[in-house]
Amino acid sequence: MSIIVFRYLHFLGITFWIGSAVAVAIAASAPSPWESGIAQSLRKISIRVTTPAMLFAFAGGFGMLIPNFAELYAKQGWMHTKLALLLVLAGATGVLTGKLRRWAEGQDVSPKVFGKLAWALSILAVLIITLAIFRPFSA
């Protein structure tokens, strides 16, 4: 496949992954999010949009990374940092999905947790995008 296909797949995946995850976290952190059906709806969005988008982002990213790894990225500090932050971002997305599952099952989950997750996801995304654009500490 062409590198451009992987790039589009990567960018589309990132947009839908981060966008839907942050939107779901903000919606869940609303002052009165405890009406019936909200938890199940937000969980469906997380499962049907956020998770597949994350997989598309990873597939597109690895499609660009693997063919050029040895020559371009293996010695680039920004790429190693970006990949480490990506793992943290994926973990935070998993935490969001888990909290939504607990809430949908009727367990008590504080809305503040979702607000903190929205901030964490946003900050991680900004850091990752900044690394990708400016490529600091390059070899």
* 101-134 residue pLDDT tens: 999 998 888 999 999 999 999 999 999 999 999 9
| Lowest-confidence pick of 15-24, 66-75, 106-115, 124-133 | 66-75
Q: Tens of pLDDT along 35-51?
A: 668 889 999 999 999 99
Global pTM reads 0.92
Torsion angle of alpha carbons 58, 12, 3, 75, nearest 10°? Answer: -50
Spell out the domain ranges in the chain. Answer: 3-134
- Contact criterion met (CB below 8 Å) for 69 and 26: no
Q: Does the pLDDT of residue 33 top 60, yes or no?
A: no
